[in-house]
């Protein structure tokens, strides 16, 4: 079938052995077909060599799971990078990181920052604890998947201590318990409503993976109270950008 409009793209016509009675139309339709396709993401072609530049937002970056390796070939999947490819951009869907091609060896250099998620839970019930052993504080557990780097843990809540309060952060990686963080001990014999307790801890250099973080507490010689109905207890896990 001949090319009969700008929407057609028949590279098998005309055949080498046949006469072309509408050669002028074939040439015009070829130009029109190229123009139709160029206009999708390029400046319109015109006289004096005008046109062909990418329109704003038209260039697509490499985007995929690049955990194993970043791209080494041009988008055609065949041609190796050359110096003309410097400036290409890739986005790793797993790490959330952007990279720019800075050398045709190839060398990809991270640009910007990735990560930065913030997760928060609240407890709005009144709770008590009389255990002398560490126990999970109700509602104060969070599981996140991090791309690695630094994590800030923050707890705040109104606590009344009768006896000796112990409070700490812990984390779990898979089935293995990690060491506790930021253990505090307070001795008191408070009356209601108690005091506002706030503590934070920075964990550095975590590898990428799933982590479960908890607030735990105990009272070795009495009872500890948390009045969530009056002042909700809050546990925040913040992943710092990397």
Asked if residue 175 has pLDDT above 50, the reply is no
| CA contacts within 13 A on the Cβ side of 130 | 1
Residue 68: predicted pLDDT: 92
User: Model-level pTM greater than 0.85?
Assistant: no
What is the β-pairing status of strands 233-239 and 176-177?
A: unpaired
- Which residues touch 65 (CB under 8 Å, ≥6 apart)? 92, 93, 94
Residue 60: predicted pLDDT: 84
pLDDT, tens digit, 9 for 90 and up, residues 42-60: 888 888 888 888 777 777 8
C-alpha dist (Å) from residue 12 to 6, 31, 43, 109: 16, 17, 29, 44
pLDDT, tens digit, 9 for 90 and up, residues 213-227: 999 888 888 888 898
Residue 101: predicted pLDDT: 93
Question: What's the rounded Cα separation, in Å, for the pair 112 and 183?
Answer: 35
Q: Are 209 and 80 in contact (CB under 8 A)?
A: no
C-alpha dist (Å) from residue 88 to 57, 60, 83, 99, 126: 14, 9, 11, 8, 56
Could you give all domains of the chain from N- to C-terminal order, each with its CATH number?
1-58 (no CATH), 62-111 (no CATH), 118-239 (2.60.120.1340)
Please state the rounded mean pLDDT for residues 224-234: 90
pLDDT, tens digit, 9 for 90 and up, residues 192-203: 667 888 888 888
For the chain, what is the mean pLDDT?
81
Asked if residue 1 has pLDDT above 50, the reply is no
Please state the rounded mean pLDDT for residues 1-5: 62
pLDDT, tens digit, 9 for 90 and up, residues 65-120: 998 999 999 888 888 998 888 989 999 888 778 999 999 899 999 887 666 778 89
Q: Enumerate the β-bridge partners of residue 209.
A: 146
Q: Are 101 and 196 in contact (CB under 8 A)?
A: no
What is the β-pairing status of strands 176-177 and 107-111?
A: unpaired
**159 vs 174, residue with greater confidence:** 159
């Amino acid at each position: 079938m001949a090319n009969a409009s700008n929407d057609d793209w028949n590279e098998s016509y005309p055949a080498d052995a046949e006469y072309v009675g509408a050669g002028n139309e074939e040439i015009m339709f070829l130009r029109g077909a190229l123009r139709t396709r160029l206009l999708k993401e390029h400046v319109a072609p015109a006289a004096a060599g005008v046109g062909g530049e990418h329109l704003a937002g038209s260039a697509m970056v490499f985007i995929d799971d690049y955990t194993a390796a970043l791209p080494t070939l041009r988008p055609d999947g065949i041609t190796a990078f050359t110096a003309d490819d410097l400036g290409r951009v890739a986005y790793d869907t797993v790490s959330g990181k952007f990279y720019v091609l800075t050398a045709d060896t190839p060398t990809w250099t991270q640009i910007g920052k990735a990560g930065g998620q913030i997760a928060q839970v609240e407890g709005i019930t009144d709770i008590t604890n009389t255990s002398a052993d560490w126990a999970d504080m109700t509602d104060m557990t969070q599981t996140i998947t991090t791309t690695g780097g630094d994590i800030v843990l923050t707890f705040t809540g109104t606590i009344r201590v009768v006896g000796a309060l112990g409070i700490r952060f812990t984390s779990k990686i898979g089935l293995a318990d990690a060491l506790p963080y930021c253990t505090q001990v307070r001795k008191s014999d408070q009356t209601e409503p108690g005091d506002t307790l706030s503590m934070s801890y920075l964990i550095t250099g975590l590898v990428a993976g799933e982590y479960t973080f908890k607030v735990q507490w105990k009272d070795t010689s009495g009872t500890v109270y948390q009045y969530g109905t009056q002042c909700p207890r809050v546990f925040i896990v913040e992943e710092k950008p990397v």
